[in-house]
Chains A and B, each alone.
Chain A
Amino acid sequence: MPRIKIDHVKCTGCRHCETACSLNHVANTANPRRSRIRVMRDGNRYYPVISGPFVDAACTSKQLIEIEGQHYDMCAFCRASCPEKPYFIEAETGIPLKCDFCGIPPSPSCVRWCNTGALELVED
């Protein structure tokens, strides 16, 4: 099954994937807040996050993640949208969004516009 592999080290934070997604899903419209992929920013680093399910319950699994001595907020790369984190809720309609791989490959629109290789379509 194909999936999108994210390599956040390669992400430059240009957000071209966000506009690609909204242009593909909403006719003739560019708006990162209507996109199913968002680039989260934590200090100097960027994490592309693809929207997952919407949860309207309070989160019980939140932890602080430690990688090489640095602490990271787990919410920064959690794929779910929740009342705490209003990402992936369409700005104009309030409907939660979920990635649909842009229907069928060749490849999802975000992968096509990602020039640095941070997003990649892989088969496993």
Chain B
Amino acid sequence: MNGWVGRCLRVNLTEGRHTVEELNPALLETFLGGRGLGITVFSHEVSPETEPLSPENKLVFSSGPLVGTGAVTGASCNVITMSSLTGTIACAKMRGHFGAEMKYAGFDMIIVEGKAETPVILSISNDTVRIIPALEYWGRQTSETEDMFKKSLDNQWAARETFLVSIGPAGERQLPMATIINDRFLAVGGAGIGAVMGSKNLKAIAVKGQHSLEVADGDRFVQVVNTLINKLNSAPLTSQSMTQWGTAFLVGLCYQKGILPKNNFQQSSVSLKNISTDALENAFALRSRGCFACPIACIKKTDMKHHAYEGRGMVPTYLAIGSLGANCGISNLSAIGMANMLCADMGLDPVAVGGTVATLMELVEKKIATAEELKIDLRFGNENAVLDTLRLIATKKGHAQRLGPGAKAIAESYERPDVFMGVKGLPLAPFDPRAIQGMGLHFATCNYGPHHLYGYTFIDELLNVHEDSDPSGIEGKPALTKRYQDITAVMDSLGLCNWPLMGLKFKNFVPMVNSCLGTHYTADDLLLIGERIWNAERLFNMKAGLNASDDILPKRFTDEPIADGPGEGQVSRVNEMLPEYYRERGWDEHGKPLPETVKNLGLED
């Protein structure tokens, strides 16, 4: 097979055995692989009524067909399961090297089911699959786990080629905001997935492989990749901003448009001086680190210029600066970097945990919760309190016990659900939807909860890469949001990272896909696959009990105008856009896909 390996590894932890299965070629054609294939397999095998933390839930690791072939930015492995935070289907994007190594080990997909009696590590080396007892790893941070596992291998050269995904203490204790950590990178959008892995007593998965991947037309493929690299080099965002600062360069731009939130979305004017790209360069020695086959290398290593943080973790991305920083009132990059590193070590999702802390901070500010009662001074801007909380949150001890269940539960326990700034149980990614309307619509409708990395509308709304789109206007936004949601879905399924869209058009990828897979897709064919995936996820969520009433933004965004800053006076007009969005998608007024839409996409049961 070209691109695909065509095999799937199924591991049953209850019985401690594994089987190797062939993938269905018809499904590969209609869902490609990665996210699409993972969603289909998952929704066929797991009932939407399943309790997320029960042994009946499954964990699907699914690499796209372009991963590991040398396709530009082909590194993405998706993890699909039912999230314990949102109760929806969840799909985390894991980049780094794990996905490629999984394919070299001979598997497109790994399905983990059941529950081990005691902690285990799943080790895959070519065709040898072993389930190793891992009691001594339990309770360890993710970086320790990785070091320990590599030391335990007798061949140091094999250890260098082994890549690991693991959960930290947060995942072991099944915290709903736990994510999984891949090769010391965070898995984005993974809130709740770490808890599922923890509930299976699975501490880590290690892979290493030496099988070959085939591409259909090697000469053409190499040519196309050359062209794409050159194109990325001639685009300013991918060749300069992203390479130099990673996504952190968005901080300044978002601030200028009033999109960067402060203090749990109550204000928008932060002191930019301390978190701008200049400050980033002063706080860290930036060294680029690339995911597999990525010419951009947007991930930055931190050789922090501070004795306490020397050489560990990664430089905070936009997500971390926004969620753990500005939205908690913190504007000290060293503290944000430390918080981000703690998240990676503990296995916490920065968006979910940042939103949780910010929610509690607002309750303290409004004098609903008090410092005496919490035994910690969680005011906006108190960086030490945030760092203490992050260290303790995974232990479920002391004051941190209160934070364990997540932002929504905290707000509800104080009978103030209005201070929870999130949709479907997940706190909002740091984009104020009042100042960027298309993103607001995406936040309301996204199948996984409000995460900007499942619909890159800001590429047009904020960066104006492909078309000039005014962030405050609503004209054409439903179509724009739909388009980006579909593009993201299909690129995740192919195994491509979505950031190159800052320099390339979606249609630029099509020749690479075809020369690699030996197919004859057009850009529209691929977008249709994206639409099919989006609808399949929607249908699963609806069976799990979600409906149009879950497609709403918190009242603060629709009723209270932004108080200050460049976006002052704006509110989100998501309710005006929703009917048109539903029409664009071919859904009825309650957000349910119409029978003919389902039929056209081939999604009937």
What's the nearest-Cβ distance from chain B to residue A63, in Å? 17
Q: In the assembled complex, which residues on chain B have CB atoms less than 8 Å from the CB atom of A33?
A: 104, 210
Q: In the assembled complex, which residues on chain B have CB atoms less than 8 Å from the CB atom of A52?
A: none
Total A residues in contact with B, Cβ cutoff 8 Å: 34
A60 within 8 Å of B by Cβ?
Answer: no
Q: Other than A23-B221, A31-B104, give 11 A-B pairs with Cβ distance below 8 A.
A: A16-B293, A19-B293, A22-B212, A23-B222, A24-B222, A28-B214, A30-B68, A30-B215, A32-B104, A113-B229, A115-B232
Q: Mark A66-87, 1 if CB is under 8 A from B, else 0.
A: 0000000000000000000111
Q: In the assembled complex, which residues on chain B have CB atoms less than 8 Å from the CB atom of A16?
A: 70, 290, 292-295
Total B residues in contact with A, Cβ cutoff 8 Å: 39
> What are 25 A-to-B residue pairs whose CB atoms are below 8 Å?
A12-B290, A13-B290, A14-B291, A14-B293, A14-B295, A15-B100, A15-B292, A16-B70, A16-B293, A16-B294, A23-B215, A26-B212, A27-B218, A29-B213, A30-B212, A30-B214, A31-B104, A31-B213, A33-B104, A41-B160, A44-B311, A113-B225, A113-B226, A115-B233, A115-B297
B70/A30 in contact, CB under 8 A: yes
A109/B213 in contact, CB under 8 A: no
B294/A14 in contact, CB under 8 A: yes
B222/A85 in contact, CB under 8 A: no
B97 within 8 Å of A by Cβ?
Answer: yes
Query: With A13-B289, A31-B211 as given contacts, are A87 and B157 in contact (CB-CB < 8 Å)?
Result: yes
A14/B212 in contact, CB under 8 A: no
- Which residue of the partner chain A has the closest CB to B299? A12
Inter-chain residue pair count (beta carbon < 8 A): 96
B216 within 8 Å of A by Cβ?
Answer: yes
A92 within 8 Å of B by Cβ?
Answer: yes
Q: How many Å lie between the Cα of A25 and that of B317 in the bound state?
A: 38
- Which residue of the partner chain B has the closest CB to A109? B222
Query: With A12-B290, A34-B212, A85-B157 as given contacts, are A23 and B217 in contact (CB-CB < 8 Å)?
Result: no
Q: How many Å lie between the Cα of A4 and that of B311 in the bound state?
A: 29
Query: With A13-B289, A23-B218, A85-B157 as given contacts, are A115 and B295 in contact (CB-CB < 8 Å)?
Result: yes
A40 within 8 Å of B by Cβ?
Answer: yes
Q: Mark A90-104, 1 if CB is under 8 A from B, else 0.
A: 011000000000000
Q: How many Å lie between the Cα of A28 and that of B515 in the bound state?
A: 10
Q: How many Å lie between the Cα of A19 and that of B104 in the bound state?
A: 12
B289/A12 in contact, CB under 8 A: yes
What's the nearest-Cβ distance from chain B to residue A77, in Å? 12
User: Which listed residue (B215, B291, B297) contacts A28, Cβ 8 A?
Assistant: B215
Query: With A23-B218, A23-B221 as given contacts, are A14 and B157 in contact (CB-CB < 8 Å)?
Result: no
Q: How many Å lie between the Cα of A85 and that of B158 in the bound state?
A: 9
Return the 4 tightest CB-CB contacts between A and B, nearest first: A14-B290, A19-B70, A12-B290, A115-B295
A119 within 8 Å of B by Cβ?
Answer: no
What's the nearest-Cβ distance from chain B to residue A71, in Å? 15
Q: How many Å lie between the Cα of A44 and that of B160 in the bound state?
A: 12
